[in-house]
Homo-oligomer: A and B are copies of this chain.
Amino acid sequence: MNGAESLVRTLVASGVETCFANPGTSEMHFVAALDRVGGLRCVLNLAEVVVTGCADGYARMAEKPAATLMHCGPGLANGLANMHNARRACSPMVNIVGDHATYHRPFDAPLTADTEGLARAVSQWVRIGSSAETVAADGAAAVQAAMSPPGNIATLILPADTAWNESAGPAAALAAPARAAVAPETVHTVALALRTKEPALLLLSGPALGERGLYAAHRVAVATGAKLRTMTQVPRLARGRGRVPIDKIPYAVDRALEVFAGIKHVVLCAAKPPVGFFAYPGKPSMLWQKDAQLHVLSRAEQDVVAALEALADELGAPANVAIPDPGMTPETASGRFSQEGFGATLAALMPENAIVAEEAVTSGRALFPPTYAAPPHDWLQLCGGAICEGLPLATGAAVACPDRKVICLEADGSGMYSLQSLWTQAREKLDVVNVIFANRKYAILQAELAAVGATPGKTANDLLDLGRPNLDWVSLARGMGVEGSRVETLEGFADVFRSAVGRRGPFLIEMVI
* Neighbour of A278 across the interface among B77, B100, B286, B444, CB < 8 A: B100
Beta-carbon contact of B278 and A457 below 8 Å: no
* Neighbour of A103 across the interface among B80, B88, B285, B445, CB < 8 A: B285
Interface string of A351-373 (1 = CB under 8 A from B): 00000000000000000000000
Knowing A34-B460, A278-B109 are in contact, say whether A471-B480 is a contact too (CB < 8 A).
Answer: yes
| A33 smallest CB distance to B (angstroms) | 9
Task: Tell me if A427 is interfacial: C-beta within 8 Å of chain B.
Answer: yes
Beta-carbon contact of A383 and B479 below 8 Å: no
How many Å lie between the Cα of A78 and that of B469 in the bound state?
Answer: 24
Task: Tell me if A507 is interfacial: C-beta within 8 Å of chain B.
Answer: no
| A28 smallest CB distance to B (angstroms) | 5
Among A74, A108, A419, A426, max chain B CB count under 10 A is at A74
Chain B residue contacts of A443, Cβ below 8 A: none
Beta-carbon contact of B454 and A35 below 8 Å: yes
Chain B residue contacts of A451, Cβ below 8 A: 28
Task: Tell me if A49 is interfacial: C-beta within 8 Å of chain B.
Answer: yes
Chain B residue contacts of A34, Cβ below 8 A: 459-460, 463
How many Å lie between the Cα of A44 and that of B111 in the bound state?
Answer: 28
The interface on chain A, measured as residues whose beta carbon lies within 8 A of the other chain's beta carbons, has a size of 103
User: A18-26, A139-147, A184-192, A489-497: which one contacts chain B?
Assistant: A18-26
Task: Tell me if A12 is interfacial: C-beta within 8 Å of chain B.
Answer: no
| A394 smallest CB distance to B (angstroms) | 18
Interface string of A267-311 (1 = CB under 8 A from B): 000001101111101000110000000000000000000000000
How many Å lie between the Cα of A111 and that of B31 in the bound state?
Answer: 34
Knowing A109-B275, A121-B117 are in contact, say whether A479-B468 is a contact too (CB < 8 A).
Answer: no
Beta-carbon contact of A456 and B275 below 8 Å: no
Chain B residue contacts of A104, Cβ below 8 A: 275-276, 278-279, 285
Beta-carbon contact of B88 and A81 below 8 Å: no
Task: Tell me if A322 is interfacial: C-beta within 8 Å of chain B.
Answer: no
Beta-carbon contact of A285 and B107 below 8 Å: yes
* Neighbour of A75 across the interface among B81, B109, B118, CB < 8 A: B81
Beta-carbon contact of A384 and B110 below 8 Å: yes
Beta-carbon contact of A460 and B31 below 8 Å: yes
Beta-carbon contact of A32 and B113 below 8 Å: no
How many Å lie between the Cα of A118 and that of B81 in the bound state?
Answer: 11
Task: Tell me if A101 is interfacial: C-beta within 8 Å of chain B.
Answer: yes
Task: Tell me if A131 is interfacial: C-beta within 8 Å of chain B.
Answer: no
Task: Tell me if A403 is interfacial: C-beta within 8 Å of chain B.
Answer: no
Interface residues of A in 462-492 (CB under 8 A from B): 462-466, 468-481
How many Å lie between the Cα of A463 and that of B22 in the bound state?
Answer: 8
Task: Tell me if A120 is interfacial: C-beta within 8 Å of chain B.
Answer: yes
Task: Tell me if A449 is interfacial: C-beta within 8 Å of chain B.
Answer: yes
* Neighbour of A100 across the interface among B232, B279, B427, CB < 8 A: B279
Interface string of A34-73 (1 = CB under 8 A from B): 1110000010101101000000000000000000000001
A-B contacts, 11 of them at CB < 8 A, read A46-B416, A74-B84, A77-B386, A104-B279, A110-B383, A114-B120, A114-B121, A164-B452, A469-B480, A472-B481, A475-B479
Q: Which 3 A-B pairs have the closest CB atoms?
A: A469-B481, A74-B386, A35-B457
Given A111-B385, A475-B475, 20 more A-B residue pairs with CB atoms under 8 Å apart are A21-B463, A35-B460, A44-B463, A77-B81, A77-B121, A78-B78, A78-B417, A100-B278, A103-B279, A103-B285, A104-B285, A107-B273, A109-B275, A110-B233, A110-B277, A113-B122, A113-B384, A117-B121, A160-B279, A472-B479
